[in-house]
Amino acid sequence: MSKLSQKHLLGIKDISREDIELIFETADNFKEVINRPIKKVPSLRDVTIANVFFENSTRTRLSFELAQKRLSADVINFSASNSSVKKGETLLDTVNNILAMKVDMIVMRHASPGAPHYLAKHINANIVNAGDGTHEHPTQALLDAFSIREKLGSLVGKKIAIIGDILHSRVALSNIFALQKLGAKVMVCGPPTLLPKFIKHLGVEVELDVQKALQWCDVANVLRIQLERQQIKYFPSLREYSLYYGITKKTLDNLKKQIVIMHPGPINRGVELSSDAADSEHSIILDQVENGVAVRMAVLYLLAGRTS
Annotated binding site for L-aspartate: 87, 170, 224
Which residues contribute to the annotated binding site?
59-60, 87, 109, 137, 140, 170, 224, 265-266
Please give the span between the terminal C-alpha atoms of the chain, in angstroms, as a whole number.
15
Among 183, 77, 180, 148, which residue's Cα sits nearest to residue 295?
A: 148
Give the burial class of 122: count Cβ atoms within 10 A of its Cβ; 0-12 exposed, 13-18 middle, 19 or more buried: exposed
Amino acid at 49: I
Amino acid at 74: D
Measured CA to CA, the distance from residue 35 to residue 24 in angstroms comes to: 17
Measured CA to CA, the distance from residue 54 to residue 9 in angstroms comes to: 18
Please identify every residue annotated as catalytic: 59-60, 87, 109, 137
Which residues contribute to the annotated binding site for carbamoyl phosphate?
59-60, 109, 137, 140, 265-266
DSSP per residue over 114-144, as a string? THHHHHHTT--SEEEEEEETTS--HHHHHHH
